[in-house]
Structures are given as structure tokens and as C-alpha cells.
Amino acid sequence: MKVRLHIEKPGLLTSVQDGGRPGYQRYGVPAGGAMDRPAMQSANWLVGNPLSAPVLEMTLAGPTLKISGACLLALTGADMSAKLDGQPLPRYRTHRVEEGGILSFGKLKQGCRACLAIGGQWQVGKWLGSCSAILWNKRPPATGGRLQKGDVIEVVANPNAPLRRLDPPAFFQNHPSTLRVLPGPEFRHFSGLFVARFFSRAFIVSPQSNRMGYRLEEAIPDYRHCEIISSGTVPGTIQVAHSGQPILLMADAQTTGGYPRLANVISADMDMAAQLKPGDQIRFRVVEMEEALLALKQKRRSLNFLDHVC
């Protein structure tokens, strides 16, 4: 049974995202994929899909969708005051939708990015094994960019999966957010005064932020930049521009860069970073590798049950 999602209003930034393109960074292709991986995985689990199946990723302001056909859907991540046919639609649970339903979004209450999963096989093109939209360059063949009014997405629906629910993650209650980091390759190139200033203050996420990276306000004064040759970067890398402004790289970040790499946000905290929006405050705390590995194990353990019941 085919279900069609008709984009009546596109929202601020709505795109198809999945598990991304890991393994192609050596060719200069960003890993991409959903910014908040646990939100994507949870949404897919709720509707009975593979955990890395495509979802709609919505940023700051959600779209208005007309759903042609019966299906199961689930919303995770940011709270965007979703409504189905005018009635509130709770997050982190499975909902059965009948023919002609209208899904709309209102005021952003928490977070920055939400994921919408539809149970079934999405009929969208792939590039390098992924359906994730390309927002950082011209559209490659078979994939799209940000969704526009009038776009239609088809899903071969599976409306018979069990109804499920999950608890929303607790980090939505923490303000300002504190992200744990490991020292970066050029950590020792920075002065002790610069490092002390960096870790003792809160930064504000700049409006000049996107899926490639977040610019953090304000620049740290009296920074004496060091020149390095272009070197590898990954999502979570914190670079420092010549002005002294830190830049936190995210899912669509370039694979190399010429700014010194002060630190790297640990993998376990990248979902929290994905939910930061312009104006949010953020702090950093340096940790040892042992804590980073333990946090990642705990994160994976908390999501392990998803693999066993899909």
C-alpha cells in the first residue's frame, strides 16, 4: 500500500535523512545523515523500520504535510507542537493515521530538530548508499536537497506494526548544555590562558549555524592563531578561526580544514549538540578517554533494546 506525503508548507528546513555515508570521508564526502542519530533510530523503531531508515528531519519550524493513505508514524527529537488534524500529537509513540490526515507544526518548545518516521519502505533515491539529502553542494543524481512546497514523497507503507512508546531523552531539561570533549590534535598549540578562557565560559550558538557547523559567540580575545596544513576533521571537531571564534563541526562538515583543532565533542554527546539552536548557551568540559568510552558504551547500551525488537 503506497502512502504519499504531500509537502503543503516546507517549514524552515525539512529534508530526508538516514544513517548517512560513513566511509567516504577519504574521498572528501561528508558523512552526513541525521543530526540526532538516537532520535532517528527511536522514530524508526516506533514504526517498525530498520533503525537507519530514512526520516524527515525538521529544523526549528516544521512543515505542513497531507498524508494520502493509511500509515503508522512517529515523531522524536525536538518538541514542535505537532498536531494531526488539529489535535495534539505526542512525541515518542506510534500513531495510526488514516487517509487524508493533515500533520502540522506550531511553536518550538524544546530542542531544534525533530524526526518524522513513516512505517514502510521509502521510495527515494540513493547516492553512495544513502538517501540523505545533499545540502552542502549541488544535488547529485537521484538525491534531493531541502524539501519545497509541492514535493511528494512515496512510502510503501506497513500499517500493521505494533504500537509502541518511549520516554523522551532527559537532556532536553539541561540549560545551558555542557558538552564533554577530548583534547584535539593541536590542543597544546594553544596558550594556557586561551584554554582557561575557553573552558571557563559559556558560548552562544550563532545564527550563522547550520548542518555543517555552529559558530560560537563571542570570539576569545587576544588569540594568537597558529598556522597548520589542512588536516582531517570529523563531526564534533572544534576548530578555532583566526578571529578566536570557535566553530563546532556537525554532520555535513567538510572533511579537512586549516584551522587548528582545539577539541572534539565526544560521540555520546553529539545528539545533545544536534538539538542546540541559535541563541542557546553551551559550555565545554574536558574529559579523559576512559570517560568518553564509558559514556559511549552507556549510550549504546541504552539503545541496544531497539536492535532486538525491530
114/139 same-domain check: yes
Q: How far is residue 298 from each of residues 18, 94, 145, 265, 291, measured CA to CA in Å?
A: 23, 25, 34, 16, 10
219/92 same-domain check: no
Q: Kindly give, in sequence order, each residue whose CB lies less than 8 Å from that of residue 213, ignoring residues fewer than 6 positions away.
A: 247, 248, 249, 250, 253
| SS3 state of residue 8 | strand
pLDDT at 143: 57
Quote the mean pLDDT of the chain.
91
Distance (Å, rounded) from C-alpha 57 to C-alpha 145? 12
146-150, 204-208, 285-289: range with lowest mean pLDDT: 146-150
Lookup: cell for 213: 557547523
Percent over 90 (pLDDT), the chain: 78
pLDDT at 57: 97
65/207 same-domain check: no
Residue range 66-71: average pLDDT?
93
Residue range 160-178: average pLDDT?
78
Q: Which amino acid is at 192?
A: G
The last residue of one of the domains, among 147, 169, 191, is 169
40/148 same-domain check: yes
Rg (CA), the chain: 20
164/196 same-domain check: no
225/82 same-domain check: no
Residue range 44-60: average pLDDT?
96
Lookup: cell for 285: 568540559
Lookup: cell for 279: 541563541
Structural domain tally of the chain?
A: 2
- For 236-248, give the DSSP string: TEEEE-TTS-EEE
pLDDT in tens, 114-128: 999 999 999 998 889
113/193 same-domain check: no
202/150 same-domain check: no
pLDDT of 308 higher than 60 = no
190/227 same-domain check: yes
25/75 same-domain check: yes
pLDDT at 174: 58
163/206 same-domain check: no
154/182 same-domain check: no
Distance (Å, rounded) from C-alpha 63 to C-alpha 115? 12
117-126, 127-136, 277-286, 299-308: range with lowest mean pLDDT: 299-308
What residues make up the domain containing 288? 174-306
Distance (Å, rounded) from C-alpha 22 to C-alpha 27? 11
Q: How many CB atoms lie within 10 A of CB 124?
A: 17
pLDDT in tens, 182-200: 999 999 999 999 999 999 9
